[in-house]
Structure 1
């Protein structure tokens, strides 16, 4: 299967997919990342290439290691799709949910697509991601209750920091980003991304 050079978008507002139909569509197409925006747009993208996958794992690994020590919640990979309260069905590159919020879900809710907005999300822009679409996705996270989000943009050598109720902060690389009160004690050093 070849990689899509950019996501495919389908406006399916006139075709109502139930939650169960959407779930079945996703699990029967494991080679694709399928999301649905709060506005009803179906977004289909292929798996990422090696450079993006390596970066994604490295950044998500830092979050995992912090959480293993802090033991304050649960960390999720890009394979996890969250059912957001605003109707969106989104899959961040890495996410974290505070433990009491995760524990409040039923075993069935945890097994399927969790009906919860993460407390923290991280998105890593890949070669096939356009920036306006990622900006919309980050705003959708905030509108759903995400408290802190990082959009890491290797192409422009910057990171955008999204906080609930505040303006987006843009920093050039190299820089350090902090988990602030959401991920207490978590600090990620971001170096400029070179050609790999």
Structure 2
């Protein structure tokens, strides 16, 4: 199956409301499959970091100047801080929050290791086991897994999946998270508090507060 022509296969499995997520998923998975070994992990989690940027910017009021809140050298610039903020804003549930932290820790392990590492190695496999089990319940998992397996079977120059049996589950986990994070960002309006502080009124109540 040609990856670019897989629309019909996915649409036969998925309800209309996640078609946008499915489109995003194809792009994410294909980008990760171009990488090898350590690169796939670093690129995948970097893509997730970018998706969280998009989600948080969609949820927060627009900046009054240039956007600096989420820059790398700011307190909210790290992946861990973005995950914590998304959780405190109610944008992700505890299971997703834990999975994001697990992926962050795996990324750190791969980035700092000087020895060869694989996702199938016990420390990383064990850390991601629960996250993968949770993600398997997502309606996007099965159709994406089918397409991914067919795509890998057609590639003669992709021995990495055989060398690291954990790669496929990792790609699917990242794919699903990025797809739904970015789809949520498109559907989200900025959160509006019920009041704000002003010099003139002291406390100004908003009639358009987020419920």
Structure ranking higher on relative contact order (CA contacts 8 Å, 6+ apart):
2
TM-score of the superposition, structure 2-length normalised?
0.27
TM-score of the superposition, structure 1-length normalised?
0.28
Structure with higher helix content: 2
